[in-house]
Chain A
Amino acid sequence: MEHALTDLWYGFEVALRPTNLIWSVFGVLVGNLVGVLPGMGALTTISMLLPLTYALGPVPAVLMLAGIFYGSMYGGAIGAILLNLPSHPPHAVTCIDGYPMTLQGRGGAALGITMMSSFFAASVGIVMMIFLSPLLESVASRFGPAEVSAIMLLGLLAGATMARGSPLKGVAMTVLGLFIGNIGTDAISGTYRFTFGVNELSDGIDLAALCLGLFGVADFLVTVNRKVVRGDEVKVSLADMRPTRAELKQAFLPMLRGTVIGCAFGALPGTGPTITTFIAYALERKISRTPERFGKGAIEGVAAPEASAHAKTQVDFIPTMSLGIPGDAVMALLLGALIIKGIQPGPQLISEHPDIFWGLIASFWVGNVLLVILNVPLIGIWVRMLQVPYRLLFPSALFFICIGVYSTHNALFEVIEVAVIGGVGAALLALDFPVAPIVLGFVLGPLFEESFRRVMLLSQGDLFVFVTRPISASLCAACGLLVATQFIAYSRRRRASRTTGDETTPAVHAFHHVAPIEMKTSTRREP
């Protein structure tokens, strides 16, 4: 403990050296800015700015690249809340309640809460990283394919019903997402699935294109024909920007829960930030006494997922830095930058290059403080962006979407992809289908399938491994519990509706009874 504190002190000394500080500031600034632009995720930005690091020392290089990463997380929320544009997939879930808040003129407040939750969660994540690394590592090492598939199943079950409106539609959209997730190369057998001979599809649908198409483009296509468009009705005044005391109170516990979820997922490499935010959101909706408020501008639906995303972002650095195993593509790039500098990422990184590890941790704090200082006054400016006439704002947003998705693979194919997905999304929106569960199914489906089939290969087809391993057994129990509570809730509602004579509910109930089983079988495949 004391040892960690002296190391951290040393880290601050490294992080506050003028060159390191300047590059770290540059990183968070760029990250924050590109985070707002739709489609320009941290991954694209880091790969574009990577050549810049060739001229830098290893410490400022890593500090800058890491700054871009967590800076873009702050920026991402801005587009999601104000414009319904999830520039970074984890923020897709923030759109569900953040955008309605904007429509009600509370966009500024939502941003304020987001900044607070983000800073709080990031700080907790950093503390976890300093003191609990060894513990988290040992938990992570017990997390095999069985546990991963169990947690993905839990995420799918929890998320399928989280959207507002008809649960039947929510489940249907999750299944659609599962199907879209099937497109591409099967990870286990190498077979192309649903690619129709198009090579570009062999890597699957691009996640950023899916999110931007379903949210930004679809929303644009639906609203553009209405006479009264959103940009003109929203009035922004400075007083609205501050979250009210009641809102702060409402957001506090969700923020804590979101942080816990983010930290828990952060330790597990390969789970990704998108499932984290969806789980945090689903949990809030499940335990809320007023779940009907969700989807209509519930502040809890903004605070919890944003907190979880930021906690996850920070804790994600644990496996990357302490084991040299990158948690995702951004982390892989970060390690790549170190390799180019002649530093071998691996288990010895912390002892061989304490300046990088502790400097990075200290710079997280410096960077997060900077981001809050930067963003709080900027909220006013961001919100004012909404006053830009719709006819200018949205075409420019579309323009940035095109550039953003183009730059992910330097190919026009993604632009076509985003346009097609946008069209489909607009049709779904017009029919009042929730689009967020599609993203959930798309992200979790392939992860579930891949790990499930790996379990089956390892266990020679024995399904009992799921209950003989303690972590996976408890996760499976949680899945069962979830299905059971769902079942009880619906049978109760059905009983209530019988007395009122509502005819649609039995059908909904019947579907729900079947839905979880159906999802399980649909993702299983012969190895």
Chain B
Amino acid sequence: MTLTRRTLVLGSGVLILSFETRAEERKSFPTALIRIILANSAGGAMDAMARAVADKISASMRQPVIVDARAGANGLIAANVVSQAAPNGYTLLFTNSSIMQNSFLRPDQMKMESLAPVALVAIAPNALAIGKSIPAETLAQFIALAKSNPDKFSYGSLGIGSTGQMLGEMLNKLTGAHIQHIPYKGEPPMLQDLLGGQISAAYGSAGTLGRQAAAGKCKLLAVGNTQRLKEFSDVPTFSESGFPSMNFASGWFAVFAPRNTPAEVVSKLSMEISGASLAPDIVTISSQLGFESKGMPASDFAEFLQRERDKWGEIIKATDIKIQ
């Protein structure tokens, strides 16, 4: 009796499931839960951004969207999970620009071609700050100082292949100064050493450095953005300081899908995510986090990505940055 009942329940379950799938095929994407794999740990600024976007698209597409934080290996773990997922649009990657660093520095482990760009969510401008005891107020003064005191100055970055290192090596190359590179694992220890005067300069996110500068703990010399930042309107861009080639200095946050995801699924997601990125409340959140909302759809983002990659490739070649 129990056996038959169990069989019956199981059987009807299977039947219902098979009906469901057939019904799903007819309905348009999405018909089930979407998982966004975050290439960072939970709780950071990137997580906040991803969750805000996830909530928005979840409401507009009427499907649950969850954020699954899979930090590790500078974003490689999450990128690999997504590139190996079924290309159906239900598993997406939310990552920052470190994915591109990886594709240059560890080409055997990360290929940009394994992912399909969906949308650019926001950009995070970088900046150069120097310690408050360094007698320079502008980038030109700092460079003059560094050139007249060779081997006395150092700059911190977030590690080999980070935007900071690229900027620092570019500056050395363009000016002929020798400012020693000191890599760090994260912003907090770098900031600690900058404020304590252990290193003379640091490249980091404009928001973090700017807050310390506003309190007089360090001096912001230049920001890497096409125009001056609203929050720090008195700080010139690298272009204005005479280094137009250093203006690339933005980190970015974007969504990718596995390669071979159907074009109509990508375009639907792209529309939703780029739209959500420009919603007023998301714009507010991102400016609070020190970012700038972009909401760039797939086609533009793919072009943007290509330009970035060309630029980075040139810089890496010119400055000879590599993993020893």
Residues of A within 8 A of B (CB): 46-48, 50-51, 140-145, 185, 187-191, 199-200, 202-203, 269-270, 319, 323-327, 329, 332-333, 336-337, 339-340, 342, 344-348, 409-411, 450, 454, 457-458, 460
Q: What is the CA–CA distance of A100 and B49 in the complex, to the nearest angstrom?
A: 48
- Which one, A46, A145, A190, A346, contacts B323 given CB within 8 A? A190
> Chain B: interface residue count, which band?
35 or more
Q: A187-B159, A346-B215 are in contact. Are A410 and B70 (CB under 8 A)?
A: yes
Q: Which residue of A lies closest to B73 (CB)?
A: A202
List CB contacts (< 8 Å) of B39-95 with chain A: 41-45, 47-48, 51, 68-74, 76-77, 80
B214 at the interface (CB under 8 A from A): yes
A450 touching B185, Cβ below 8 Å: yes
User: CB-CB < 8 A to B76: which residues of A?
Assistant: 199, 202
A188 touching B183, Cβ below 8 Å: yes
Q: What is the CA–CA distance of A333 and B217 in the complex, to the nearest angstrom?
A: 23
Q: What is the CA–CA distance of A329 and B69 in the complex, to the nearest angstrom?
A: 15
A189 touching B323, Cβ below 8 Å: yes
- Which one, B45, B80, B185, B189, contacts A336 given CB within 8 A? B45
Q: Which residue of A lies closest to B162 (CB)?
A: A190
Known: A325-B192, A409-B77. 11 other contacts (CB 8 A): A50-B42, A199-B72, A203-B71, A269-B188, A323-B217, A327-B188, A336-B45, A454-B182, A458-B198, A460-B151, A460-B180
List CB contacts (< 8 Å) of B205-245 with chain A: 207, 211-212, 214-215, 217
Q: A336-B48, A347-B217, A409-B72 are in contact. Are A191 and B324 (CB under 8 A)?
A: yes
Q: 30 A-B pairs, CB-CB below 8 angstroms? A: A47-B42, A47-B43, A50-B43, A141-B195, A145-B198, A185-B74, A188-B160, A190-B160, A191-B324, A199-B73, A202-B72, A202-B76, A203-B72, A269-B192, A324-B212, A326-B188, A329-B41, A332-B43, A333-B43, A336-B48, A339-B288, A347-B217, A410-B68, A410-B69, A410-B70, A411-B77, A454-B182, A458-B154, A458-B180, A458-B199
User: CB-CB < 8 A to B211: which residues of A?
Assistant: 324, 344-348
User: CB-CB < 8 A to B195: which residues of A?
Assistant: 141, 323, 325
Majority SS of interface residues in chain B? mixed
Residues of B within 8 A of A (CB): 41-45, 47-48, 51, 68-74, 76-77, 80, 105, 109, 151, 154, 159-161, 180-185, 188-189, 191-193, 195-199, 207, 211-212, 214-215, 217, 285, 288-289, 323-324
Q: What is the CA–CA distance of A347 and B109 in the complex, to the nearest angstrom?
A: 40
Q: What is the CA–CA distance of A185 and B75 in the complex, to the nearest angstrom?
A: 13
Q: What is the CA–CA distance of A109 and B192 in the complex, to the nearest angstrom?
A: 41
- Which one, A144, A337, A457, contacts B196 given CB within 8 A? A144
User: CB-CB < 8 A to A191: which residues of B?
Assistant: 323-324
- Which one, B181, B182, B215, contacts A347 given CB within 8 A? B215
**What's the nearest-Cβ distance from chain A to residue B106, in Å?**
8
User: CB-CB < 8 A to A46: which residues of B?
Assistant: 43
**What's the nearest-Cβ distance from chain B to residue A95, in Å?**
27
Q: What is the CA–CA distance of A96 and B323 in the complex, to the nearest angstrom?
A: 41
User: CB-CB < 8 A to A344: which residues of B?
Assistant: 207, 211, 288
Q: A323-B195, A457-B180 are in contact. Are A340 and B48 (CB under 8 A)?
A: yes
Q: Which residue of A lies closest to B45 (CB)?
A: A339
The 3 tightest CB contacts between A and B, nearest first, are A190-B160, A347-B215, A346-B211
Q: What is the CA–CA distance of A141 and B195 in the complex, to the nearest angstrom?
A: 7
Q: A144-B198, A339-B289, A458-B198 are in contact. Are A47 and B69 (CB under 8 A)?
A: yes
B182 touching A141, Cβ below 8 Å: no
B71 touching A140, Cβ below 8 Å: no
**What's the nearest-Cβ distance from chain A to residue B149, in Å?**
13
B189 touching A270, Cβ below 8 Å: yes
A346 touching B214, Cβ below 8 Å: yes
Q: Which residue of A lies closest to B199 (CB)?
A: A458
User: CB-CB < 8 A to B68: which residues of A?
Assistant: 410
